[in-house]
Amino acid sequence: MRQVSAAMHILVLLALVWGGSGCGLVSNNPLEEERDPHYLTGKNRVISLDYPGAVEAFEKALETNPRSASAHFELGFLYAQRVTNFAAAIYHFERYLVLRPNSEKADIIRGHITACTQELARKVPLGPVTPAMQRSLDRLKEENLRLQQQLDFVNRRLAEATNALQFAAVSAAAQPLAPATYTNVQPASPAGVMMTNAQTIRSPSPSQSSARQASAPSTRTHVVRRNETMAQIARRYQISLAALQSANPRVQPRQLRVGQILVIPKP
């Protein structure tokens, strides 16, 4: 009779141990959890950058031991940083905190839970987009594009005007000043007529002005357009690239700007 009572007592103790484990006789020891074959497979797949395979392996480790905090920890980080499933990451992080409430990683895990929650909140739309709202959004996009095009046009015109002013200033500074002409006035003659000496410079005749204008070199300019190169501009004006570069010594051939003004020499 005593032997039967002792056997019953042992069975009761075994039943308590079995029931207290929650899901069978599984271990909650970190070292034993990390020796699980599925857990080791998951770690190896993480090293080889096979993240979906690692998730599958850690999920199998949880099937073997649902109280494996180590597997929950690895799954939380995979879902938060590699597979991008923030809801699943929050679940596994929270399960880790339930199983290891006093872990030294608890604060870090709570920080990751907060970050995942914020990411989820960002992806939740504020409300349904009605057809009227969509039309308004489309109009705003078109208006924004039109304003951007106008701004680009104004910037180009401003650049052209600025380059033209700079070119005019440089050209004016390069031209020599005309010598001053003085007229020696002789005293008045008895008849009261003002006479000048023979050194007075007379105005050229129309024929002489035309001849001088024909002999003066004509200066041409070109406003750089989008995607133009100096070689293309030289071919357009039928001049050599070296002549174009020589006429524009301060211009970098590979750094042409839209609206920039180039001096085009005579062919």
Provide the token pair at 159: 């650049």
Reported confidence tier of residue 149, pLDDT bands at 50, 70, 90: confident
Q: What is the pLDDT of residue 130?
A: 80
CATH class of segment(s) 218-267: alpha beta
- Whether the pTM exceeds 0.75: the reply is no
Q: How far apart are CA 251 and CA 199, in angstroms?
A: 46
**Which of 78-82, 151-155, 212-216 bottoms out in mean pLDDT, i.e. has the lowest?**
212-216
Superfamily of domain 22-123: Tetratricopeptide repeat domain (1.25.40.10)
Contact of 96 with 69, CB cutoff 8 Å: yes
Q: What is the pLDDT of residue 165?
A: 85
Contact of 51 with 78, CB cutoff 8 Å: yes
Q: What is the pLDDT of residue 157?
A: 84
3-state SS string over 133-181? HHHHHHHHHHHHHHHHHHHHHHHHHHHHHHHHHHHHHHHHHHCCCCCCC
Q: What is the pLDDT of residue 8?
A: 52
In whole angstroms, how large is the CA radius of gyration of the chain?
A: 45
Q: What is the pLDDT of residue 214?
A: 47
Q: What is the pLDDT of residue 199?
A: 45
Q: What is the pLDDT of residue 208?
A: 56
Contact of 26 with 61, CB cutoff 8 Å: no
Q: What is the mean pLDDT of residues 181-195?
A: 48
Q: What is the pLDDT of residue 171?
A: 73
pLDDT at residue 173 greater than cutoff 90: no
Average pLDDT taken over every residue of the chain: 77
Q: What is the pLDDT of residue 196?
A: 42
Q: What is the mean pLDDT of residues 106-134?
A: 83
pLDDT tens readout for residues 87-101: 999 999 999 999 999
Reported confidence tier of residue 161, pLDDT bands at 50, 70, 90: confident
Burial (CB count <10 Å: 0-12, 13-18, 19+), residue 55: buried
In the DSSP assignment, the letter for residue 255 is G
pLDDT tens readout for residues 28-48: 688 899 999 999 999 999 999
Domain boundary assignment for the chain:
22-123, 218-267
